Amino acid sequence: MFNRTKTVLRSDIVALLVFLLVSACQSQLVPANSTLELPSGKEPNASVSGGVTYRERIALSPDAKLVVEIRDVSYEDAAAPLIARQTIAGPGQVPIEYKAGYKRDDIDSRSLYSVSARIVESDGRLAFTNDTAHDVITRGNPNNVDMVLVLVQPPPDTVGDNEDWRTWVEVPARVIRANLIPNEREQFLRIEYYQSTIEGCARRGSKSLQVNEYDIVATVTLMQPPQTSWAIPCEDEVVQLDEIEPKVEPLEPARTYRVIVNDQVLTTLTVPDPELGFTHIAESPIENAEIRPRDGASGEYELLVVSGLSKGSSCSQFNGYEIRRSEYDTVEVTVTHHEVSDPMVACTADYPIVETTVPLGSDFEPGVEYTVVVNSDISEKFVAQVGQGRSPPWVHDRSDSMTHTQDFQGKVAIVTGAGRGMGRAVVLRLAAAGASVAVNDLRSEDAQRVADELTDSGTKSVAVQGDVTKSSDVRRMVDSTVDTLGAVHILINNAGVLRPTPVIDIEEDEWDFVVGVNLKGTYLCSRAVLPTMRSQGWGRIVNFSSTAGKNVSTVGGAHYTAAKAGILGFTRHLAKEEAAYGITVNSVCPGLIDTEMVRDTISEDRADAYAASFPIQRLGEPEEVAELVAFLASDRASYITGASLDINGGDLMI
């Protein structure tokens, strides 16, 4: 993290840092319980906003107050005139946000100004003691100031002494906003994000920054315990933190760059043209704003903003936009431009109009009304529609849409024995919902044929020939999937063989073969994917058992029945072991399904006779089994583990 500049404490323990204050507003709302004092008696038309927090768990009384002051500190040997004072009565607990207004006419662009803050308890004592140090962070951004009471190092990991953090998983941080800090000799990217303050919920993960042509791409992650259905609600108590990332290479003047953090476009910015001279960033006057679904991107919304350049084309240049998402149902958008700071420069009288398309993304819960605020001037509302949005990752899904809850976009699945029958049907079902799929089969030509089907339909896939009874083949299958498709989120243990041999005639080799493919293969494949699934904190394993595992096989032998019963026991045990890592393990138990393997084992007349004996008088279809498998692999089944679900037309009812 960027080293923060410490300031000297005055006798009243007010934290102070000098910075250049420019005419700009934030879209943050003024607290309702605040009062504002301007000695000049003028009405405010600009503001500076920020947040106050501290790392210690000190509870403030309901009658405490936060006092924020803006002062002119240009002269060291003279008193610092007060420009504005905001007092927030009963501010609640940290983090406390403020928005101190001031009059632009009271600010001289050649002077230096300070923002100070203090919290006073109801009995008049300060909420902080003399042995603490305040850290006021502006980092050159005059629109936002964070005042943080820090201990020796920022911020401590909220991990209990008894927590086994080695089992934790790395997840993307929930990002609030990101911006390139202006008016700095070096360029720094500031990223604000949330981290839980509940003990045992979070510790810092990794961070990275790179520039890909005109994209500034950053990641910020947290380490969290594996997700479980009984996990504590870590999002109930969070603190707003930030990371400061140095930008190594200089940005090109007059070029517009996108800032992308954790795959979200949060900001665009344009480096000012050197011919403009000394400039500052100002909010652009907004003429119009309109929310609309994004064309060609299902589930996403965008904001069309029409703004103006108030100082004319000779003295101003469009900068970009910044998206802030600090509240669940509110999106704040700030559109800015560069304008010449020297008031003596003659500017053209034209008023250029700029149209900007701001991507709002798809983190919206269907049926919920959202508000988009643009430069504090315009407020637009919209209701996210079913099928036109997805719930934010920190919000529990309440949608009844099957499409929504079985969306496998971004997921990678391995399906064994997928060259034919039920395996192929599962591959096609997962791919249709957006999954990338590794197609495994003992016969390489069968695996390649199915993989080619997916490729022709635009789905990322890879064919992996392999024998699931050989650990070397299984390791190669998993490694190839990760190398080609990037991960493994879903494993479908479908590979199986069927032999109708009576026990008296079963040779040892045949026993080993049937039990090996059905049961040992399930074990080897499951074991191979566990490290990857554990590291990402999410996984779905669906094993193919059978009605034979609960009763006896209709067409198979005792080795088949024993193997399928073993899969049920293995499923329950593995489910118990892996639940703490966010991995669910379940089984499906098909009855007589109309597949090539069944048709190769029994005659058509015998199949018809079996079908006539079922309550639903037909054989099952592979696609019907694939629907059940897709359900167990989806988020809709997140509270199901260790289960075995029957799909047999009523042949077995228990």
β-bridge partners, 117: 15, 68
Give the DSSP H/E element, type plus range, for residue 572: helix 558-578
Peptide bond into 95 cis (omega under 30): yes
Helix (H, G, I), strand (E, B) or coil at 535: helix
Residue pair 16/118 in contact (Cβ under 8 Å)? The answer is: no
From start to end of 278-329, where are the E strands? 279-283, 286-293, 301-308, 316-327
> By C-alpha distance, which of 456, 379, 463, 373 is closest to 423?
463
Residue that the structure tokens 């979200």 belong to: 264
Residue pair 48/169 in contact (Cβ under 8 Å)? The answer is: no
Tally: H helices and E strands in the chain: 11, 32
Parallel, antiparallel or unpaired: strands 65-72 and 82-89: antiparallel
Cα separation, 440 vs 437, in Å, equals 9
> By C-alpha distance, which of 193, 209, 180, 218 is closest to 336?
180
Residue that the structure tokens 């099957």 belong to: 402
Read off the amino acid at residue 271.
Answer: V
The CA-atom distances, in angstroms, between 170 and each of 113, 205, 478, 600 are 41, 6, 21, 47
The CA-atom distances, in angstroms, between 477 and each of 394, 413, 460, 470, 484 are 33, 12, 16, 11, 11
186 DSSP 8-state letter: S
Helix (H, G, I), strand (E, B) or coil at 619: coil
DSSP 484-510: HHS---EEEE---------GGG--HHH
Cβ-Cβ contacts under 8 Å for 420 (sequence gap 6 or more): 441, 446, 595, 596, 597
Residue pair 427/454 in contact (Cβ under 8 Å)? The answer is: yes
The CA-atom distances, in angstroms, between 293 and each of 89, 265, 290, 381 are 41, 17, 10, 13
Residue pair 401/388 in contact (Cβ under 8 Å)? The answer is: no
Residues with a catalytic annotation lie at 560
> By C-alpha distance, which of 271, 87, 62, 122 is closest to 182?
271
β-bridge partners, 327: 330
Exposed, middle or buried by CB within 10 Å (0-12, 13-18, 19+), for 343?
exposed
DSSP 219-275: EEEEEEPPP-TT---GGGSEEEEEEEEE--SPPPTT-EEEEEETTEEEEEEEPPPGG
